[in-house]
Amino acid sequence: MQANIYIYFNGNCEEAMNYYKEALGASIEMLVRYGDAPKPSDDAQKNKILHGVLDTGGSKIYCSDSSVNHSAVTGDNFSVSLRFDTQDECNRTFENLCEGGKIIMPLQNTFWGAWFGMCADKYDIHWMFNWDQPKG
């Protein structure tokens, strides 16, 4: 399992990623905009960042603009993102961390080819679970 930080922004994710790119000597590995997703987005959100990846050379920082339904609150604008080698490990860890907490998004297939879900544990720490399904 690999763990990374996932930071949410209120509409200035791309600006922040460019800042961190320079400040950390990182590279922007990926930028996916809300308008690129199969689910329709309103015009104001289309060019905002749905998922961005900064590569620091030793780890990755994931970033996103918050959706129109949820604002990022400083101090509460991050999740720990877990990437798994197997679906069983992903399912087991999801069940463990959801116990006593709440499921935000059940584990499910996604348009980007992953088995993905989100929860808040009993301490209200937010977690993301990702297992990349085999291609083919």
In the chain the domains, ranked by start, together with CATH numbers, are 1-33+44-74 (3.30.720.120), 84-136 (3.10.180.10)
Model pTM score: 0.75
Q: What pLDDT, in 10s, does the model give residues 50-71? A: 999 999 888 899 999 987 777 8
Backbone angles phi, psi at 38, to 5 degrees: -70, -25
Q: Work out the pLDDT band at 72, boundaries 50, 70, 90.
A: confident
Give, for 13, the enclosing helix (H) or strand (E). Answer: helix 13-24
pLDDT for res 46: 93
Which residue bears the tokens 């993301």?
128
The residues, ordered by sequence, that sit 6+ positions from 73 with a Cβ below 8 Å of its Cβ are none
- Residue 100 CA to residue 124 CA, distance in Å, equals 10
pLDDT for res 90: 95
Between β-strands 60-65 and 78-83, what pairing exists: parallel, antiparallel or unpaired?
unpaired
